[in-house]
Amino acid sequence: MIQRLKNLFGLGPKTDFNDLMTNGAQIIDVRTPSEFNGGHIKGAVNIPLSNISENLNKIKKDKPVITCCASGMRSASAKSILISKGFREVYNGGGWSSLQQKIKK
């Protein structure tokens, strides 16, 4: 149970986000549109957390998914929702600005 909580909040083993991107990962930014418009990772798709269940068709199930937000709390919730909806490879990227620094372009 503790390990599941750690993994849910991105506290588990270190994730190689560059490797995920090489393998076609999609970044889902779950902040509000106004937050997203204030700055985001190039190529990220904005699906606010409150609308994620209605927009699953915008996310490919056969590719890794990296969720991000402002701090990591909403992205953890989004990860949980996506896993409950049948997505298998979902990672909490945490805050978008720190995730951007982890991804080499």
Structural domains in the chain plus CATH codes = 16-49+63-102 (3.40.250.10)
Q: What is the DSSP letter of 55?
A: G
Tell the residue number behind the tokens 């929702």, with chain if given.
81
Instruction: Assess contact for 33 and 49: CB atoms under 8 A.
Output: no
pLDDT digit string, tens, across residues 57-92: 999 999 999 999 999 999 999 999 999 999 999 999
Instruction: Assess contact for 80 and 73: CB atoms under 8 A.
Output: no
Residues carrying an active site annotation: 69
Q: What's the confidence (pLDDT) of residue 6?
A: 56
What six digits make up the tokens of 65? 């998914």
Residue of 5 and 24 predicted with greater confidence: 24
Instruction: Assess contact for 59 and 28: CB atoms under 8 A.
Output: yes
Q: How confident is the model at residue 28 (pLDDT cuts 50, 70, 90)?
A: very high
Secondary structure class of 65 (helix, strand, coil): strand
